[in-house]
């Protein structure tokens, strides 16, 4: 269940209320079931995955990729796996915990763990959205945002790309509010 924290302390958990709060940013948030495939569930329970295991997961979820290819022109996908055992995890995450934009949409389908996206709204207030398993988020190109992990420090997410070059962060001069 997604959780949206507003700068004034309000917390929203209803997906329709969250969608309304994020409507001005055109952010899409949906629930996509992972399913009950025992092999997939076994892989999702592992901290680390090798490339073959990642590909098994991606293939098991390719119906969503095929849909995005047809409706939005997505060309590729990968699986990002972050957990405390990754060397230099903090340094890796630091570049995304600064406010930035991308030339292409940032699209993630969280299939295990959780992560937080922060957004700068048009009125310059800031909000943070915790995205949890079976939640799909599309952050439109040009949207000021940041990303970090929750205290569990683990997430598995499918990333969908029109072009991987479009995901290079373009840092803005916007300062983040104190963690919301």
Q: Cα(24)–Cα(178) distance, rounded to whole angstroms?
A: 22
3: closest CA among 115, 153, 156, 159? 115
Between the CA of residue 70 and those of 26, 64, 75, what are the distances in Å? 20, 10, 10
The two structure tokens encoding residue 123? 């009125």
83 in a labelled binding site: no
106 labelled binding-site residue: yes
Q: What is each CA distance from 125 to 38, 94, 140, in whole angstroms?
A: 43, 22, 18
Q: Specify whether the CB–CB gap between 149 and 118 falls below 8 A.
A: no
Question: Residue 152 region, left (φ>0) first, then alpha (ψ -120 to 50), else beta?
Answer: alpha
Q: Let me know how many helices (H) and strands (E) the chain has, helices first.
A: 5, 12
Is 145 flagged in the annotation as binding? yes
- Per the annotation, where are the binding residues for Fe(2+)? 100, 102, 106, 145
- Per the annotation, where are the binding residues? 100, 102, 106, 145
- Per the annotation, where are the binding residues for Ni(2+)? 100, 102, 106, 145
């Amino acid at each position: 269940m997604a959780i949206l924290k507003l700068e004034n302390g309000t917390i929203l958990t209803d997906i329709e209320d969250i969608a309304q709060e994020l409507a001005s940013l055109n952010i899409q948030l949906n629930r996509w079931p992972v399913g009950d495939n025992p092999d997939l569930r076994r892989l999702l329970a592992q901290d680390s995955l090798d490339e073959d295991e990642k590909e098994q997961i991606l293939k098991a979820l390719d119906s969503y990729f095929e849909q995005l290819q047809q409706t939005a022109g997505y060309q590729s996908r990968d699986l990002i796996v972050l957990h405390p055992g990754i060397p230099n995890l903090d340094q890796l995450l630091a570049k995304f915990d600064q406010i930035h934009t991308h030339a292409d949409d940032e699209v993630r389908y969280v299939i295990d763990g959780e992560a937080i996206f922060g957004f700068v709204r048009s009125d310059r207030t800031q909000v943070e959205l915790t995205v949890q398993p079976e939640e799909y988020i599309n952050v439109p190109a040009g949207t000021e945002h940041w990303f970090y992990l929750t205290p569990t420090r683990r997430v598995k997410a499918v990333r969908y790309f029109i072009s991987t070059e479009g995901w290079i962060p373009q840092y803005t001069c916007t300062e983040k509010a104190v963690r919301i």
